[in-house]
Amino acid sequence: MSTVSNVASQAASPAAAGSTTSSTTAAGAAGSAASQQIAGNFDTFLQLLTTQLQNQDPLSPMDSNSFTQELVEFSSVEQQIDMNTNMQTLISMQQTTEATSAMQLVGSNVTISGNSSALSNATNTPASWSLTTTTPATANVTITSAAGTTAYTGTVALNAGTQAYSWSGQGNNGQTWPDGTYTISINATGANGQPVTVTTQTQGTVTGVNLSSTPPTLTVNGQSVQISQITSITNGSQSGLSSLNSTINTLNTNLSNLSKLL
């Protein structure tokens, strides 16, 4: 039965390829090709089996358990290919739902966790952040440009809780920095000199959605923002964010359940 075993082994390999391909389209094509190949291999298997049965030694007949095992192997591979195809269909449906939910957030004013903010001299809009700490602290502030150049350094006293911090674009030497995205970094200490953790958030309007990423990302103040970075919405579709987060959680649960079956 060595020849028959080789045929079954060849049939198993396309299923593995289909299950590891990252692209949904490519994986779907691989699954279809795998189904076609296993069908062809199964026909070859039956032909070989029939030939072996016809030419077996009557005094030493073939062990029925051997080719029965081959039939079971083909059936298992076929089921795995079908399962992989169903998983790709599920992923495609979930991605469509994610994209629809994300587009509902366009036009919403959101608060996101992060340390980058946009400066616009043309509209007199300073770069602004919300700084949060649990205890009063003295903070050394450093603001850098997108190129990594230090634009401003200074010191600010922070109270316990959340407070606003803005930078007009004026550097330490009096020069006005151009419009762009600037990043703030903070090194804070408490009254006894102990380090104090300061979290930063920024506000902005969702102006676009990138549907080519998985999950979709939002454009806020010209920056690409992950859905998970949004902490609140001051107007617009709060339900859209809840729906999207729910969809992502459902996708992760379904994928986890399916992976247990593979």
Which class is 109-236 in CATH? mainly beta
Mean pLDDT of 122-144: 94
Largest Cα–Cα distance in the chain?
Answer: 102
What count of other Cβ atoms lies within 10 Å of the Cβ of residue 152?
20
In this prediction, residue 257 carries a pLDDT of 63
Confidence of residue 31 (pLDDT cuts 50, 70, 90): low
For residue 108, is pLDDT > 90?
A: no
What's the CA gap between 161 and 232, in Å, rounded? 17
Query: In this predicted model, which residue has the larger pLDDT, 85 or 140?
Result: 140
**Residues 184/141, Cβ–Cβ less than 8 Å:** yes
Name the band, by pLDDT with cuts 50, 70 and 90, for residue 15.
Answer: very low
Amino acid 9: pLDDT: 44
- CA gap 4, 8 in Å, rounded: 6
Residues 58-79, mean pLDDT to the nearest whole number: 72
Q: Which residue has the higher pLDDT, 193 or 71?
A: 193
Would you state the pLDDT for residue 241? 55
Among the residue ranges 61-65, 153-157, 162-166, the one predicted with the least confidence is: 61-65
Over range 58-71, report the average pLDDT.
Answer: 72
Q: What pLDDT sits at residue 261?
A: 52
- 110-120 pLDDT per residue, tens: 899 999 999 99
Instruction: Specify the 3-state DSSP secondary structure of 147.
Output: coil
Chain-wide mean pLDDT for the chain?
Answer: 77
Residue range 214-245, pLDDT digits in tens: 778 898 888 888 888 888 887 654 455 555 56
Residues 227, 216: contact at Cβ < 8 Å? yes
Per-residue pLDDT reduced to its tens digit, 178-196:
999 999 999 999 999 999 9
Whole-angstrom distance, CA of residue 25 vs CA of residue 184: 41
Render pLDDT for 158-178 as a digit per residue (tens, 0 to 9): 999 999 999 999 999 999 999
Residue whose C-alpha is closest to residue 93's, from 245, 261, 260, 247? 247
E strand or H helix that includes residue 52: helix 24-54
pLDDT band of residue 142 (cuts 50, 70, 90) is: very high
Long-range contacts formed by 73-80: CB under 8 A, 24+ apart: 73/8, 73/11, 73/12, 74/8, 74/11, 74/38, 74/41, 74/42, 74/45, 77/8, 77/11, 77/12, 77/15, 77/38, 78/35, 78/38, 80/15, 80/19, 80/262
Provide the pLDDT for residue 226. Answer: 86
Read off the tokens for 13.
């390999």
